[in-house]
Amino acid sequence: MSEQTMIANRYMVVSSIGSGGMADVYLAIDTILNREVAIKVLRGDAGKDPVALVRFQREASATSKLHHPNVVEVYDVGEYDGRSYIVMEYVRGKTLKQLIRQRGALPVDEAVSIMKQLTSAVAHAHENNIIHRDIKPQNVLVKDDGTVKITDFGIALAHDAVQLTQSDSVLGSAHYIAPETTRGEIATVQTDIYSLGIVFYELLTGDVPFNGENPVQIAMKHMREDIPSVRDFNKKIPQSVENIIILATAKNKKHRYASANDMLFDLEVCLAPEMANVAKVVFDDSDSPNDGTVVFDETAKAKIPAQNDAQTAAQEVKPAKKKLSKKAKIIAIAALVFLLACATTAGVYFSGAIDGFGPTEYVEMPNLEGYEKDQAEDVLKKYGLELGKVTTEVTEDDSIQEGEVFKQSKKAGDKVAKGSKINITISGGTYFVIENYVGKNIDDIRSKLEANNITVEVKEEFTEDDEAGTILSQSGLSEGTKIKPNEKKTITFTVSKGKYFMITNYVGKQLSEVKPILEAQGIVVSVEQKESSDFAEGQIIEQKGLSEGDLVEPGKNATITLVVSKGESDSALRSVIGWEIEAAKSELSGSGYTVKLEVIDRPDGDTSPIKTVIKQSPEAGSTIKDGATVTLYYYQD
């Protein structure tokens, strides 16, 4: 299929991203929703194979039933150019197998996190009567944020589905295949659980437990050999974690986890502090004493002969070589009748043919979570169970509605004797948990607190750095305090009223620039003017009343005096011609002028005295500014 191909007038093919045994996968754009999708298209030759077609349809059917954050979502199915296709969520990232190859053994907490996601997804599939049958890292996609998603339900099997072929029961990958599947037994939820255990092993060690020259060798090892200990690979792996692998990969299904939810529960708690010193799980059917190791010891069941056993026993009663006496015949007949009676009684007992006589009848415990009390009671009645003690508890999970069941004394899926009383716990509402509100804006959290019956008291003060409304401290209720529904409490906040205004050095700045800023803070500005040859007109020469670094509370009517330059004043230059040169210099200097002296040559016939001013520049009467230069000319001899 070429690029730019449009499927169903909606999906534009961008590029090929992979191919499998019977289908090709393309990256495409959903032109209606403007999003990337993956399209799995059945190959042309595979479409002629009825088995391949059924498996492809089975994948679409299985995945479309599942809605879980860790299962790749199916958006659409259809047929294009005679070829079936599935439109799925496009996941950017890599496969879990690629991740393991790149990094090797993962840290325990990361491996547990991945397994919790996988097991939760598999449990969801099982609850929808779907067995994956090919769980392996190659079929798990890892997003950049660490989220994992199971894909490829191509050989998934519904509990009630018809097998495609006799060999359909042994489909799967040899490295992850359960022993009973190799023996040709039908796949069950425990088949997936075994595969999950192998994946967990690989995450913790970086490799699968068994390798071989061909799939048959590997499958035989799964049947005959014990799974190596992950703690032999890494002693730092907690025993509680290895126990999960032991229970998931038990070759005897009686020892293996009965449900994925059971395995998920152990994954949730395996790293808890109280699990730090658990003993290793072993399976021991012998009567040997327990040496402190956790032992799963099946109670020996007494074999009660069935009817056929009794008949066989009767058939095995052979006449003696010697002719029996009449008394012996009577005893033999009585023994035969007794054996037949035992067999008949056993048959009646185990068939439950007579009410009140026979073994206890068991039912599968229903899931009551999410039901209200009356609804839960109705469900229990349908299963032949009774409602026991009802407890109400406040929870921290806001997804649980008030009045809903969120705990039950027997786990869903467990076998429970009919007539048993089941205790339930109902939500009495959700705790409101106090947070650390320092640094947040009071307007952002006030309504949320008041909606939970918490009275909010506020004290305000000015600060150097915090914007108005910022919470500076809280008292009365500390972070982590749990408030029950309708419980009345009070919390007190100290809140910033705004920032103090800090006075700076305004000398040299223009009055027109500084005055509006100060007045906006409520500061009264007094202005004095002064002539100055050092500052241009309008520049501040001096500030009084408030100094640099002073903090002013806005609106407090503080006063500052700013001395402002009027600029230099102009004046008429007086005449000093005829003055003795030093006296003239002293006079002009005292008037603020800069005086420069220059000697000139006396012209012939000039009889003016020496060292007296002959000429001045500028001339007398000129208007000049303070500090201007005046040059005085005189004769030296």
Q: Would you list which residues are annotated within the binding site for ATP?
A: 40
AA letter at 477: L
> How crowded is residue 279: how many other Cβ atoms within 10 Å of its Cβ?
14
> How crowded is residue 10: how many other Cβ atoms within 10 Å of its Cβ?
16
The CA distance from 365 to 376, in Å, is 12
The CA distance from 484 to 429, in Å, is 8
Q: What is the DSSP string of 141-185?
A: EEETTS-EEE---TT-EETTPPPSSGGGGG-S-GGG--HHHHTTP
The CA distance from 150 to 544, in Å, is 76
Sign of the CA dihedral running 188, 194, 197, 202 = negative
Distances (CA, A) of 234 to 102, 175, 392, 413: 19, 21, 45, 35
AA letter at 220: M
The CA distance from 572 to 261, in Å, is 106
H or E segment and range at residue 314: helix 307-315
**Planar angle of CA 389, 417, 373, nearest 5 degrees:** 30
Distances (CA, A) of 452 to 428, 470, 486, 488: 15, 21, 7, 8
Active site residue 81: no
Is there a contact between 120 and 42 (Cβ–Cβ < 8 Å)? Answer: no
Closest residue by Cα to residue 628 from 539, 531, 533: 533
Please name the residue ranges forming H helices in 10-138. 50-64, 96-103, 108-127
Annotated catalytic residue: which of 49, 76, 134, 226? 134
The CA distance from 52 to 142, in Å, is 27
Which residues, at least 6 apart from 394, have a Cβ–Cβ distance to it below 8 Å?
427, 428, 429, 430, 431, 482, 484, 485
**Planar angle of CA 340, 345, 348, nearest 5 degrees:** 125
H or E segment and range at residue 340: helix 326-351
Cis peptide before 359 (omega within 30 of 0): no
Distances (CA, A) of 405 to 369, 391, 427: 5, 10, 6
Tell me which DSSP letter residue 250 carries.
-
Q: How many helices (H) and strands (E) does the chain have?
A: 15, 33
Is there a contact between 272 and 265 (Cβ–Cβ < 8 Å)? Answer: no
- In sequence order, what are the beta bridge partners of 632? 597, 616
Annotated binding site: 40
Enzyme catalytic residues: 134
